């Protein structure tokens, strides 16, 4: 009897090794070139190619790159040999910066944070701490409005109206809700016995560069005062000169109870702040909140220099003038290309809704030497340094129009 021998089974293929992970956690899709230098309103990569910067680090480097005054303020702080002390001890730069804000705003006190999200998160805590001092024990709710972006931390993410940001991290922090940008709906929601604060951006940056109507904000201020609810203005992106006044709220004829700021405060060094009025400041006690790094002498010294520069009336007039011109030029591009659905903005903060995906235009502009950022799938966002000249804006607009044509 003849036996049939089966051939030996082929060895199982060896699984391919997973691709190596980037050393920096892959939460961003970075452009390929390695940037190594900055020069005014330009960033320079390792090959020497110069890119005109219409992003400013997402509204951060308002005085541009390699600014002599900022560099001098850094060196001045370093020369003292005191970079960090914690907040267990007093330092002159932190106190001087806080006093500057008290002298130039509605605020009676300032709390320093490390970022915009932390400033907003702290403002939520302050609101709830204040609410506990009222006669209503259930007063705790934080209300945000449709189109908002306030950060990616547990509380601020709950107040951020971007489903793609929210869904992977549900359930979000409780007691925070988003309502339509409508005074009638807000009137129904703002129960004096349960609502602690409303937070709103005067211009919604990540939400598409949407200018919130001044009439709405003035009505909201009246409503919150009537209901004994705090008004928090988030000027992290639109504040500190970006709209043509130092604070955006100055153009509205109102004052908030709290104001959060960060992005351009030290022209790229990480510092944020919560400005609070008297009634909020008086309820806060030692231990209610804290920070290890916030308001350190190096950061505060640089920020003190920056705010004096950004509040200069000549610079603010420049922002208003070139900003108005920039908006007119964007409309001209829209008229010539037929590729634009809407244009919105103020000062040097503009958004352009386009028909094709914004990322495609940003990619083509990048190849031509212009840096831009989006504010949604079909919105281009323009946030150039506030010191940019009209000629430099014109050069960028030329690249933009070419990129929009393909």
Per-residue pLDDT of 70-106, as tens digits, reads: 999 999 999 999 999 999 999 999 999 999 999 999 9
- Classify residue 88 by burial, with Cβ atoms within 10 Å: 0-12, 13-18, 19+: exposed
- What is the pLDDT averaged over residues 169-185? 94
Measured distance CA(260)–CA(323) in Å, rounded = 24
Higher pLDDT, 6 or 201: 201
pLDDT band at 302 (very low <50, low <70, confident <90, very high): very high
What is residue 62's predicted lDDT score, i.e. its pLDDT?
98
> What is residue 134's predicted lDDT score, i.e. its pLDDT?
96
Greater model confidence, 215 or 16: 215
Residue 242 DSSP one-character state = T
Q: If pLDDT is split at 50, 70 and 90, which confidence band does 5 have?
A: low
For residue 350, list its beta bridge partners: 345, 382
Nearest Cα neighbor of 56 from 405, 371, 377 is 371
Q: Which two tokens stand for residue 252?
A: 């509205």
Contact 100, 275 (CB under 8 A): no
Beta-carbon neighbour count of residue 319 at 10 Å?
Answer: 25
What lies within 8 Å, CB to CB, of 188 at 6+ separation is none
Let me know: does 249 contact 257? Beta carbons within 8 Å: no
Contact call for residues 224 and 141 (beta carbons, < 8 A): no
Measure the CA–CA gap between 55 and 208, rounded to whole angstroms: 15
**115 phi, psi to nearest 5 deg:** -160, 170
Beta-carbon neighbour count of residue 341 at 10 Å? 11
Q: Which of 28-42, 61-75, 235-249, 309-323 has the lowest mean pLDDT?
A: 28-42
Distance CA 224, CA 386 (A): 33
Which residues fall within 8 angstroms of residue 229, CB to CB, at 6 or more apart? 190, 192, 195, 196, 197, 198, 223
pLDDT-wise least confident of 25-29, 241-245, 303-307, 355-359: 25-29
Confidence band of 406 (pLDDT split at 50, 70, 90): confident
More confident residue, 164 or 346: 346
Mean pLDDT of 141-148: 96
- What Å distances lie between residue 368 and 29, 61, 92, 365, 396, CA to CA? 19, 22, 46, 5, 10
> What is the pLDDT at residue 6?
66
3-class SS of residue 293: coil
Per-residue confidence (pLDDT) for residue 12, from 0 to 100: 73
- Beta pairing, strands 230-234 & 210-211: unpaired
For residues 16 and 348, the model is more confident at: 348
Mean pLDDT of the chain: 95
The 10s digit of each residue's pLDDT in 14-49 is 777 888 888 998 888 888 899 999 999 999 999 999
**Rounded-to-integer distance, Cα 381 and Cα 372, Å:** 7
**The tokens 């929210």 sit on which residue?**
166
| pLDDT of 394 over the 70 cut | yes
What pLDDT score was predicted for residue 279?
Answer: 97
Q: For helices 92-103 and 297-310, give the axis angle rounded to 10 degrees.
A: 30
What's the pLDDT band for 282 if we cut at 50, 70, 90?
Answer: very high
């Amino acid at each position: 009897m003849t036996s049939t021998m089966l051939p030996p089974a082929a060895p199982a293929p060896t699984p391919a090794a997973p691709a190596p992970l980037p050393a920096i956690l892959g939460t961003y899709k970075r452009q390929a070139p390695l940037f190594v230098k900055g020069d005014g309103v330009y960033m320079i990569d390792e090959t020497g190619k110069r890119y005109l910067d219409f992003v400013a680090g997402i509204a951060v480097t308002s005085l541009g790159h390699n600014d002599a005054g900022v560099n001098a303020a850094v060196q001045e702080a370093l020369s003292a040999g005191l970079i960090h002390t914690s907040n267990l001890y007093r330092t002159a730069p932190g106190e001087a910066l806080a006093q500057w804000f008290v002298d130039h705003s509605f605020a009676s006190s300032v709390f320093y944070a490390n970022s915009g999200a932390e400033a907003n998160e702290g403002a939520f805590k302050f609101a709830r701490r204040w609410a506990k001092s009222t006669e209503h024990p259930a007063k705790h709710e934080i209300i945000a409005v449709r189109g908002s972006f306030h950060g990616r931390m547990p509380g601020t993410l709950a107040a951020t109206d971007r489903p793609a940001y929210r869904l992977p991290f549900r359930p979000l922090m409780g007691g925070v809700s988003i309502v339509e940008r409508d005074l009638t709906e807000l009137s129904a929601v703002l129960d004096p016995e349960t609502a602690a604060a409303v937070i709103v951006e005067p211009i919604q940056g990540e939400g598409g560069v949407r200018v919130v109507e001044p009439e709405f904000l003035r009505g909201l201020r009246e409503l919150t005062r009537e209901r004994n609810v705090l008004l928090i203005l988030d000027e992290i992106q639109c504040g500190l000169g970006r709209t043509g006044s130092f604070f955006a709220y100055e153009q509205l004829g109102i004052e908030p109870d709290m104001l959060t700021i960060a992005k351009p405060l030290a022209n790229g060094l990480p510092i944020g702040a919560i400005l609070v009025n008297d009634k909020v400041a008086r309820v806060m006690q030692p231990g209610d909140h804290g920070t290890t790094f916030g308001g350190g002498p190096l950061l505060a010294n640089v920020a003190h220099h920056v705010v004096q520069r950004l509040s200069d009336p000549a610079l603010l007039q420049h922002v208003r003038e070139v900003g108005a011109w920039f908006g007119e030029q964007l409309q001209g591009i829209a008229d010539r290309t037929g590729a634009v659905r809407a244009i919105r903005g103020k000062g040097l903060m503009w958004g352009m809704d386009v028909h094709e995906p914004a990322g495609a235009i940003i990619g083509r502009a990048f190849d031509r030497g212009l840096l831009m950022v989006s504010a949604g799938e079909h919105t281009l966002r323009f946030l150039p340094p506030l010191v940019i000249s009209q000629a430099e804006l014109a050069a960028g607009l030329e690249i933009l129009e070419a990129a929009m044509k393909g």
